[in-house]
Amino acid sequence: MTRKLLHFILAIAVLLSVSALAQNGIAAAPSVPTPAATNTKIGIINIQEAIFASNEGRRDFEALNKKFEPKQSELQTINKEIDDLKKQLTAQGDKLNEDAKSVQVRQIEQKQKSLQRSYEDAQAEFQGQQNEILNRIGQKLLGVLDKYAKDNGYTLILDVSSQQSPVLWAGPSSNVTEPIVNAYNAQSGVPAPASSRPVRPSSGVTRPGGATAKPATPSSTTAKPGAPAPQKPAGTTPK
């Protein structure tokens, strides 16, 4: 009888141990976290387009292009003189002796060198003034962007001006370029120019012979030698 009672007590102990292990195992099982709701709002902006589309940008870039029109005409005139000298040298052919040919060749070479220097100087001056406009407007535009982003609850606004932009696709509703331009125009107080023609980046001075140098771009996309990049105001949403 005692032996049967002992076996019964041992069986009860085993069952209690198994039950305790099962309960502990269930209690120790990690709970699956519930994904937290996010309120991330992301937008895109084409800073370069915004600068050129603003009333101030259109006004200043049109004035800059007009300012360099006389220099462009001057370079074209010099280039035509060189072409005429070359034609004259070719037409005279064997009628000129070696000394006369050498004189005309040197004259053409000197004019070509002078033309190239004048072109490079004019192009450097144009790009320098264009960069100044880009940076001046860009600095103020970033301040408008900062306020707009905060007022409208944006977490991030990306600049898609550059071809190296990491943005592969974005819906039209995420593009804040137009509202930023409108807000900037309202803040600047600059009226819209009389011309409705949109302004685009200009090479400024055409290289004699038809080739043109690459136009300058805003510092928000690429840095310019000798031109300071616009600094973002404190707390500006990163581009």
Q: What's the pLDDT score for residue 209?
A: 67
Q: Which CA distances in Å does 168 have to 150, 158, 164, 171, 238?
A: 25, 12, 10, 11, 18
pLDDT reading at 197 higher than 90: no
pLDDT reading at 235 higher than 70: no
DSSP structure class, residue 139: H
Cα(57)–Cα(184) distance, rounded to whole angstroms?
11
Residue 71 has φ and ψ, to the nearest 5°, of -65, -40
If DSSP codes are grouped into helix, strand and coil, which group holds residue 66?
Answer: helix
Cα(96)–Cα(187) distance, rounded to whole angstroms?
69
Q: Judge contact between 108 and 85, C-beta under 8 A.
A: yes
Q: Judge contact between 208 and 16, C-beta under 8 A.
A: no
Q: Please classify residue 186 by burial: count the beta carbons closer than 10 Å to its beta carbon, then call 0-12 exposed, 13-18 middle and 19+ buried.
A: exposed
What residue has token string 């600059």? Answer: 190
* 66-70, 164-168, 209-213: least confidently modelled range: 209-213
Q: Which of 53, 228, 203 is nearest to 136 (CA)?
A: 228
pLDDT reading at 73 higher than 50: yes
Q: What's the pLDDT score for residue 196?
A: 64
* 3-12, 141-150, 230-239: least confidently modelled range: 230-239
The two tokens of residue 17 are 């141990």
The dihedral over CA atoms of 174, 202, 60, 64, expressed in degrees to the nearest 10, equals 170
Q: Which CA distances in Å does 38 have to 43, 149, 215, 235?
A: 16, 17, 42, 22
pLDDT reading at 170 higher than 50: yes
pLDDT bin (cut points 50, 70, 90) of residue 203 is: low
pLDDT digits (tens, 9 = 90+) for 5-31: 444 444 444 334 434 434 544 444 455
